[in-house]
Amino acid sequence: MISPQKALKIILSHAHPFGLEKIDTAKALGCVLAENIRSDIDIPPFNRCAMDGFAMNSQDPSKVLKVIEDIPAGKVPQKGIKPGQCARIMTGAMLPQGADKVVKIENTEPLGADRVRITAQDKKNHVAHIGEDVRRGQIVLKKGRRIRPQEVAMLATVGRTKVAIYRRPKVAVISTGSELVESRQKPQPGQIRNSNSSMLLAQLKKRGIDGEYLGIAKDRFAETQRLVNEGLAQADVLLLSGGVSVGDYDFVRDVLRNCGIKILFDRVAIQPGKPTVFGVKGKKWVFGLPGNPVSVLIVFELLVGPAIDKAAGCKYQSEFFKVRLLQDFQRQDAKRELYYPVKIKPGGAMPLEYHGSAHMQALIQADGIMKIKRGVKHLREGAVIDVRPI
- Read off the pLDDT of residues 192-236 as tens digits, 9 standing for 90 and up: 999 999 999 999 998 888 999 999 999 899 999 999 999 999 999
| Measured CA distances, 155 to 61, 141, 160, 289 (Å) | 43, 8, 5, 38
**Residues 6 or more apart in contact with residue 84 via CB below 8 angstroms:** 60, 62, 65, 66
Q: Which CATH architecture has domain 48-128?
A: Beta Complex (2.170)
* The two domains 4-18+168-311 and 321-389 share their CATH topology (first three levels equal): no
pLDDT band of residue 245 (cuts 50, 70, 90) is: low
| Pick among 3.40.50.970, 2.70.70.10, 2.40.440.10, 2.40.340.10: CATH of 321-389 | 2.40.340.10
pLDDT band of residue 314 (cuts 50, 70, 90) is: confident
d(CA 272, CA 90): 59
Query: How high is the pLDDT of residue 251?
Result: 81
pLDDT band of residue 121 (cuts 50, 70, 90) is: confident
Spatial CA neighbour of 33 closest among 143, 170, 157: 143
Share of the chain above pLDDT 90, in %: 86
Query: How high is the pLDDT of residue 243?
Result: 78
* Domain ranges (residues) in the chain: 4-18+168-311, 20-40+144-166, 48-128, 321-389
d(CA 48, CA 51): 9
Determine contact, residues 181/194, Cβ cutoff 8 Å: yes
d(CA 194, CA 215): 10
Name the CATH superfamily for 20-40+144-166.
Molybdopterin biosynthesis moea protein, domain 2 (3.90.105.10)
The terminus-to-terminus CA distance of the chain in angstroms comes to: 26
**Which carries the bigger pLDDT value, residue 207 or residue 186?**
186
| Pick among 3.40.980.10, 3.40.1000.10, 3.30.1490.20, 3.20.20.80: CATH of 4-18+168-311 | 3.40.980.10
Q: What is the pLDDT of residues 83-97, one digit of tens each?
A: 999 999 999 999 999
Query: How high is the pLDDT of residue 246?
Result: 59
Q: What is the pLDDT of residues 162-173, one digit of tens each?
A: 999 999 999 999
Spatial CA neighbour of 240 closest among 199, 309, 289: 289
d(CA 304, CA 316): 12
pTM over 0.85: no
